[in-house]
Amino acid sequence: MIRWLFKWLLRLLALAVVLGVAALLLLNPILRVVIENRIRAQTGLDAEIGRFHLGLLQPTLEIQDLKIYNPPSFGGAPLLDIPEIHVEYDRAALARHRIHLTLLRLNLAELDIVRNEAGQTNLFSLGLPPPGRALGGANAGAQFRKQTGFDFEAIDVLNVSVGRVRFLDLKNPRDDREQNIGLDNCVVKNVKSPADLTGLALLVALRGGSFFGALLNTNR
């Protein structure tokens, strides 16, 4: 009886080890699907993530090859192409339901602005703020808390790269154009509110030249 019980305990232990390893191997793929579904639920837009990695020993998170797509009314083409999001966070703050990022590195390769055949522009119809427009708002913290369940504390170091922006006119393709922003590793420190990103938004707008100004004038 004891020998039989010992064998079954060993089998159960082996099974637990196998399941534990499988859980670790499947953790990142499962989280990748969860995040894709979360983006879809909150924005109504389809999303694809090429690779998702949550560090188990280090407080890091990496998302690679993230693409968020326009809805069918705007052609269904990619809206955002983001090759990399790298996050390093404060575990102690997270335990207190506060978001404190020690590093956030964001590489936005391409933003596609689309005007459909009805004359609507995705950037405005989807409720996205156009680059260069004033940032901030007294209720920004409350909105963040409502959407995430966490209080935002700070980003110690924000590193942003922006590649290019494109304008696609589905009704009149001759109006299609693109602008290279060419912003590489722009660092902003101690970000505690959207207002702290105003300088970054202004820099993107300046590098865009007349691109964003023409877009704003078109949609007034």
Token pair, residue 199, equals: 């300088």
In the prediction, which pLDDT does 122 show? 85
Q: In the chain, what percentage of residues exceed pLDDT 90?
A: 30
34, part of any domain: no
pLDDT at 189 over 90: yes
In a domain? residue 164: yes
Asked whether the predicted pLDDT for residue 217 surpasses 80, the reply is: no
Tell me, yes or no, whether 2 lies in a domain: no
Would the pLDDT of 107 be above 90? Answer: yes
pLDDT of residue 118: 87
pTM: 0.80
What mean pLDDT, rounded, does the chain reach? Answer: 80
Has residue 35 been placed in a domain? no
135 near 201, Cβ under 8 Å? yes
- Report the alpha-carbon distance of residue 25 to residue 22 in Å, rounded: 5
Inside any domain, residue 122: yes
Q: Can you tell me the distance from the alpha carbon of 84 to that of 130, in angstroms, rounded to the nearest whole number? A: 21
> Does the pLDDT at position 21 exceed 60?
no
Question: How big is the chain, counted in residues?
Answer: 220
More confident residue, 219 or 209: 209
Reported for 17-24, long-range contacts at CB under 8 A and 24+ positions apart, including other chains, are: 24/56
For residue 110, give the 3-state DSSP assignment: strand
pLDDT band at 45 (very low <50, low <70, confident <90, very high): confident
Predicted confidence at residue 197, as pLDDT, reads 86
Pairwise CA distance, residues 92 & 214, whole Å: 46
Please check whether residue 19 lies inside any domain of the structure. no
Instruction: Compute the distance between CA of residue 213 and CA of residue 208 in angstroms, rounded to an integer.
Output: 9
> Residue 198's domain spans which residues?
46-218
Q: Is residue 196 part of a domain?
A: yes
210 domain residue, yes or no: yes
How many Å apart are CA 164 and CA 204, to the nearest integer?
A: 10
What is the average per-residue pLDDT within 159-163? 94
Number of domains in the chain: 1
